[in-house]
Amino acid sequence: MFLEEAIKKRRSIRTYTTKPLTLAALSQLLFAAQGITTEHNGYALRSAPSAGAVYPFDIYVIVNNVENVRQGIYRYHVDDHALELIKSGDFRAQSSDACLGQETVRRGAVTFLW
């Protein structure tokens, strides 16, 4: 599919399969969000732009349903493309409550926090 066609056809969706997300798919999403793509003049440049290449935020992932990954809150370490477990547990209810009770947040395999 051409990019233009993908842009025209895209819509937000709020219903998901209950099948677990694969770790490979989560890895791909994290790379697309903030992965390091090249080094330039001493800067590790990433897949998404940032003013002054300072990338002034972190990504956390709430894992609800990912193959072979324990439920919990993880921090994404960009430098080594790795997840660090911050707190294990089921955070579906809390994360949904924090998003004004949106059910869609409870049902997702993962929730990304910036």
Ligand X SMILES: Cc1cc2nc3c(=O)[nH]c(=O)nc-3n(C[C@H](O)[C@H](O)[C@H](O)COP(=O)(O)O)c2cc1C
CB of 11 to ligand X, least distance (A): 4
What residue type is 98 in one-letter code? A
> How far is the C-alpha of 54 from the C-alpha of 28, rounded, in Å?
22
**Interface mask toward ligand X for 80-99; x: CB under 6 A:** -------------------x
Q: Contact at 8 Å (CB) between 61 and 30?
A: yes
77 is an interface residue for ligand X by CB under 6 A: no
User: Of the two residues 14 and 77, which places its CB atom closer to ligand X in the complex?
Assistant: 14
**Spatial CB neighbours of 58, under 8 Å, sequence gap ≥ 6:** 75, 76, 114
104 binding ligand X? (CB under 6 A): yes
Question: Are 95 and 104 within 8 A, CB to CB?
Answer: no
Residue nearest to ligand X (CB): 12
**Cα(27)–Cα(70) distance, integer angstroms:** 15
* DSSP secondary structure letter of residue 48: S
Tell whether residue 70 is a contact of ligand X (CB under 6 A): no
Taking residues 12 to 41 in sequence order and writing x for each that binds ligand X by CB under 6 A, - otherwise, the string is x-x---------------------------
Binding-site ranges for ligand X (CB under 6 A): 11-12, 14, 99, 102, 104
